[in-house]
Amino acid sequence: MTERLYFKEGDVVAFSNIDGWYMKLINLGNQIHFKGDAAKIGITHVGIIKNFANDADGTACAIISEALGSGVVSSPYPLWWLNARVLDERIRVFRPRQQVNTISIYCEKYEGVPYDWASIVALGYSILTQRKIWYYESLKGPKTQFCSEFVLRVLYDASDGKIDLQKEFNRDFDMLMPMHFYYSDQFIRILPKN
């Protein structure tokens, strides 16, 4: 199980150029907001490694918690599959610089929370028009979440508020995009071992 040594609980797994209309919208937002290499990098989805387990076939897996269209779920991803995607840069892994504790407890806290379609629409409007619209984040809070919002809330909780991209980028949780992980000073990119 040496593959597991490469990954740790609390690592952020960033997926690039996933299909889907809202992933295309997020990638367009990347290009508009981040310019330059954002189009080439194309991070459109993030999840967080909750823990590790073997699947029914005995394959070593990272259990990744993520907010999908169906809500916040945890799913096994074979480590060999993750490693292959890291090598071809379809996945990037970012490790928090700050210590994080009990990731699985914080992931479970949000499991089953519905997907935040309203924030995706508001984010899309903001990206396309360069205008902010009134938004109900203070009323909504964590009741619904999209991928980066979920991961950031888990990391904020698990670091006792030390991992705070809201402060770093001066944006609410629900306005932070997956590409913010790439540009954040609060993470280091984990590269494949040769």
How far from 178 is each of 5, 52, 129, 149, CA to CA, in Å? 25, 23, 20, 9
The reported pLDDT for the residue numbered 1 is 42
The reported pLDDT for the residue numbered 156 is 95
**Which residue ranges make up each domain of the chain?**
2-190
The reported pLDDT for the residue numbered 120 is 66
Residues in CB range of 152: below 8 A, 6 or more apart: 163, 165, 166, 173, 176
Nearest one of 62, 145, 168, 78 to 159, comparing CA atoms: 168
For residue 40, the tally of other CB atoms under 10 A from its CB is 11
The reported pLDDT for the residue numbered 2 is 46
Enumerate residue ranges in the chain where pLDDT < 50. 1-2, 136-139, 194
Fold of 2-190: endopeptidase fold (from Nostoc punctiforme) (3.90.1720)
The reported pLDDT for the residue numbered 17 is 66
pLDDT digits (tens, 9 = 90+) for 60-76: 999 999 998 888 999 99
The reported pLDDT for the residue numbered 100 is 95
